[in-house]
Amino acid sequence: MRIRQILAGEKGLSRTDVIGAVSFVCKMTKEELLRDIDSRLDEATLNAVKDCLGERRAGKPLAYITGVKEFFSESFFVSPDVLIPRPETEILVEEALKIIGTGGNRVSVLDMGTGSGAIGIIVAKHAGSSVVCVDISAAALRVASKNARSIGVAGRTRFVCSDLFGAIKEGPGFDVILANLPYVAASEWEDLMADVRQYEPRGALYGGQRGVEVYERFVRDLPGRMKSGGHVLLEIGSSAQAEEIGGMLKGIGLTVNVKKDYSGTERVLVGHG
Ligand code: GLN
């Protein structure tokens, strides 16, 4: 069978998914695949493609099938132990890079709830900062440190297994604290896409009954960890959370700005102390 026939014959899935699955199995880039669209696949390759497409049809996210996801133009390893990096999280990274500016090697950064490491690793790479990446999941940290090595920032990143600040030794030593903690509320759980609900780690998504409980605990410990004059950047999910979590930041004396994502949703809180 030719690649072109597979693309034309797969009705149930998006073209992006099918191209992604075929290029993964054939170890080709998408550009190579489209250039060689009339080449034939041998039977073993075709069977492997069919297996991937079957998994995708069952709902498994493409990134968990291929084991990689692009974020900020870098390729990140992912596994079901980590959330798949989201395009909207690039907003937080862009804001962090603006704040850190040049001279990032003198800025100490903490990435709380690092997951695949996407946020902290990109900041280490682009700003040149030293980044402590924290997660409660040891399995997630294994994925993150593999990413740090493959993206070339192992020397500037450190990985710590900790429930929020619990096991962090540094005192009020961080200039910039970044966090994409779980913020989905119980009432929103059923509204998540089925693929997300069934395959992505619940611990990285579910923020408690009200959705803000993890951020509440985080903000409680923040004053002892952030240098005065420092910044905290939090990913959030709604205007209601911008109010509620923004209020918590104001409560500890920070000034707060809200950034929207490209779909107009309040997505990042920037607190400045
Ligand atoms: N934006 C994510 C989602 O729904 C939630 C991420 C999070 O809780 N930090 O899919």
Going from the Cα of 181 to the center of ligand 1, the distance in angstroms, rounded, reads 8
The string of pLDDT tens digits covering residues 136-195 is 999 999 999 999 999 999 999 999 999 999 999 887 789 999 999 999 999 999 999 999
- Ligand 1 binding pocket (C-beta < 6 A) is 86, 180, 182-184, 192, 196, 205, 235, 237
Give the pLDDT confidence score for residue 235 in this predicted structure. 98
Residue 74 lies in a domain: no
* 268 burial level (CB within 10 Å; 0-12, 13-18, 19+): buried
pTM: 0.94
Give the pLDDT confidence score for residue 173 in this predicted structure. 87
Query: How many independent structural domains does the chain possess?
Result: 2
Angle between helices 15-26 and 43-57 (to 10 degrees): 140
Q: Indicate whether 209 pLDDT > 90.
A: yes
Alpha helix positions (H), 230-269: 239-251
Give the pLDDT confidence score for residue 10 in this predicted structure. 85
Give the pLDDT confidence score for residue 171 in this predicted structure. 74
Domain that residue 10 falls in: 3-58
For residues 103 and 95, give the distance between their C-alpha atoms in angstroms, rounded to a whole number. Answer: 16
Give the pLDDT confidence score for residue 113 in this predicted structure. 98
Atom of ligand 1 nearest to the CA of 88: 1
Shared domain for 31 and 100, answered yes or no, is no
8-17, Cβ contacts within 8 angstroms, sequence gap of 24 or more:
10/53, 12/57, 13/53, 13/56, 13/57, 16/62, 17/53, 17/56, 17/62
Backbone φ, ψ for residue 174 (5° rounding)? -100, 135
Atom of ligand 1 nearest to the CA of 89: 1
- What is the percent of the chain with per-residue pLDDT over 70, rounded to a whole number? 100
Q: Which residues of 93-118 are buried (b: 16+ CB within 10 A; e: fewer)?
A: bebbbebbeeebeebbbbbbbbbbbb
The string of pLDDT tens digits covering residues 173-190 is 899 999 999 999 999 999
| CATH label of the domain that carries residue 220 | 3.40.50.150
For residues 267 and 188, give the distance between their C-alpha atoms in angstroms, rounded to a whole number. Answer: 16
Shared domain for 111 and 164, answered yes or no, is yes
Give the pLDDT confidence score for residue 9 in this predicted structure. 87
Q: Indicate whether 264 pLDDT > 90.
A: yes
Shared domain for 150 and 265, answered yes or no, is yes
Shared domain for 123 and 195, answered yes or no, is yes
Residue 64 lies in a domain: no
The string of pLDDT tens digits covering residues 31-58 is 999 999 999 999 999 999 999 999 999 9
